[in-house]
Each structure stands twice: as C-alpha cells, then as structure tokens.
Amino acid sequence: MKTAGLLGGMSWESTLEYYRIINQETKRLLGDTHSAKCLIYAFDFHEIERLQREGHWEKMTQLMVEEAMNLKKAGAQFIAICTNTMHRMAPDIEKETGLKVLHIADAAGEAIKKHGFSKVALLGTKFTMEGDFYRKVLMDNHGIETLIPEPEDREIVHHVIYEELIKGILSDKSRKAFINIIYKLSEKGAQGVILGCTEIPLLITDEFSPVPVFDTTRLHSEAIVKFAID
C-alpha cells in the first residue's frame, strides 16, 4: 500500500470525513484489521480563509507546495488535497514535488461518466465555480460540460459555505436554498450535481436533490484508497 500525503484542515470538518472514509474503504477492500497508511498536514483554516478573501493566491501556493514537500520528506508517495478550491494549486504542487496529485475533479469525472452523464451542475466556493481549473479538468479529461449557478445564487452558495458549513452549522433554510438552486440548474439541462466543496455533503445528499449528487469528499477518498492499493 502506498502512503498518501493529505493536505487537510480546509476545513477540519471535511478532513475528518476524509480520514473516516479512507480508513473505512481500506478495511472494506483489504479486510481484517487493515487501515490506511497516510500522513496528514492540517492547515489552520483561518489563515487560508483570510488569504483567499484577500486574493493572495501566490502566498497560498507557496504554503501548499511547502507542506506537500514536507509530506514527501516524511514518506508520502502521492499527494491528495482534501478540499476542492485548493486544487487550483495542484499543477504547482505536482511540478515542485515530483509527486502525483490525485485530482478531485478526475474522481468526480470518472463517477459522472459511469452514470452516462455529459452535463452536470457544479456547486462550490465562488473560486471553484467561477475559475476554470476545475471545469477544465472535467471537460478536457472527461468531456463533461459544467453549469454553474447565476451570480446571485453563487453568492448564496459561497456565503453558506464560509459562514455556516465550515463552522459546523447546518441550516434547514440553507438546505432549501441549495435545493432550489440545484432545481434551477436541472431545468437548464444538468443531469446531476457535483458537490464541489467538501463541506456541502454535510448539508445535501441524494435524498434532498432533484438530480443525482456527486459527493466529492467520498469520491475523492475512494480514489485515494484505490490508488494507494493499486
């Protein structure tokens, strides 16, 4: 089994889910008392959130590369970023460390193709929804078109993520708002919805969505285990 280097703490709630799912999946596949070989570096998300808000992406890239290098020195054989937004730095991390970065959008893309879908909605932070680093992977590697919410709906999704979900707050009002946004995107042709922020699955599951959901936390965690074992 290869040793995974996990860049986490963005937020700790979703990193906890990563660790749980990775170990459950390892035990499911290997049986007995097996658990995952992994190293975790957890950022103080307050620092990351401030840098995101102020637009200091070069500084964040530097921090991500430094900690990925530290994971490599500690014995990590590949890197996984336990959040969607910070995959913006994936190419830099891969280039500087020489380690494979297991991309979360590829994990989502493989699952979407298994459903036979070619057009899906994407919910996440504004950085993920409005940037091209995520949608480009889906289109270039998997031929999947991505729809994003209208500007006012993007503001709602972004606000709920940063003001509620990363603080562990789950609101019925926010869940209803997300369901309404997903419904509007499904009317535009979205066959499913990518929960492109690792906190969103805490609020939205298949039972609440008018179209199938793709939980990137679970899909990425399962891809990590598969890559480690293969």
CA distance 42 to 12: 7
CA distance 136 to 114: 19
Q: How far apart are the first and last CA of the chain?
A: 8
The single-letter code of the amino acid at 175 is R
Name the token pair of 75.
């014995």
* Active-site hit among 15, 125, 197, 217: 197
- Are the beta carbons of 134 and 124 closer than 8 angstroms? yes
Active site residue 83: yes
CB atoms within 10 A of CB 56: 14
Active site residue 97: no
* Active-site hit among 15, 83, 97, 128: 83
CB atoms within 10 A of CB 173: 9
Hey, is 146 helix, strand or coil? strand
- Are the beta carbons of 154 and 127 closer than 8 angstroms? no
Q: Count H helices and E strands in the chain, helices first.
A: 10, 7
Q: Which residues are catalytic?
A: 83, 197
